[in-house]
Amino acid sequence: EADIYQTPRYLVIGTGKKITLECSQTMGHDKMYWYQQDPGMELHLIHYSYGVNSTEKGDLSSESTVSRIRTEHFPLTLESARPSHTSQYLCASSEGNNEKLFFGSGTQLSVL
Amino acid sequence: LAKTTQPISMDSYEGQEVNITCSHNNIATNDYITWYQQFPSQGPRFIIQGYKTKVTNEVASLFIPADRKSSTLSLPRVSLSDTAVYYCLVDGRNTGFQKLVFGTGTRLLVSP
């Protein structure tokens, strides 16, 4: 049903590496979101975007950065990964206000 | 941003009706109430959304009393595959909050 894709699905990297988590949607949605979720815990909003060239930080402080150069693409970057960044990262999009969110399958990141 | 409170966990058996109640005392006039379902290692999936009274779709029903300070998600005749975490959210994006905040959710365990 959802045309939103995240890659990679799983990623294991060493401390200090720069990584980019990809998120793409083919639904033409203006709004996109990044959530972070630890196992068994709640989702925390870390970034969101209203549209192209618009990005905002979410409720949870994150050392990651995002960009929105194209409507369909909302990548998340960690310049220098640390073990504390180990978590599941979920990308979502919606068409507008009060419209439901479509989530990707997530990227499970493990930093050693 | 209205905070939601829902039970941490619930147990049920196959074929039973499950009702999960969520309180949102500070809900604003233009806020919507939305429920999502999440399976392990997946992103949440939209179930149902409502503003007042009752909403029903092929998956669930949502009951919202007149004061809108609470809502109840009703799952008819649950099966083992309904075992998941269910999130109640107050969607305030229509009032300028460009965020959708997930709480801790209710873990539903359906047994044979």
Confidence band of B99 (pLDDT split at 50, 70, 90): low
* Strand-strand pairing, B9-13 and B106-111: parallel
Q: Which residues in chain B have Cβ-Cβ distances shorter than 8 Å to A108?
A: 41
Q: Is residue A98 scored above 80 in pLDDT?
A: no
**Helices marked H in chain A:** none
**Which tokens belong to A27?**
């639904």
Read off the pLDDT of each residue in B65-92 and give the average, rounded to a whole number.
94
Model confidence pLDDT, tens digit, residues B18-42: 999 999 988 888 888 999 999 988 8
Cβ atoms A80, A54 nearer than 8 A: no
pLDDT at position A112 is: 95
Q: Which carries the bigger pLDDT value, residue B96 or residue A57?
A: A57
- What phi and psi, each to the nearest 5 degrees, are found at residue B30? -95, 5
Model confidence pLDDT, tens digit, residues A13-65: 999 999 999 999 999 999 999 999 998 888 888 999 989 999 998 877 778 99
Confidence band of B91 (pLDDT split at 50, 70, 90): confident
CA distance to partner chain A, nearest, from residue B31 (Å): 8
Model confidence pLDDT, tens digit, residues B48-69: 999 998 999 999 999 999 999 9
Contacts with A108 (C-beta within 8 Å, 6 or more apart), sequence order = A9, A10, A11, A88, B41
Element (H, E) at B110: strand B106-111
Which one of B49, B59, B102, B104 would you mutate to disrupt binding with A, by most A Cβ within 10 Å of its Cβ?
B102
Q: Is residue B12 scored above 90 in pLDDT?
A: yes
**Which tokens belong to B41?**
């290692």
Asked if the Cβ–Cβ distance from A35 to B34 is below 8 Å, we say: no
Distances from the Cα of B98 to the Cα of A16, A49, A98, A109, angstroms = 32, 9, 10, 26
B54, B50, A23, A42 alpha-carbon torsion, rounded to 10°? -90
The number of C-beta contacts closer than 8 angstroms across A and B is: 54
DSSP structure string for B71-107: EEEEESS--GGG-EEEEEEEE-GGGT---------EE
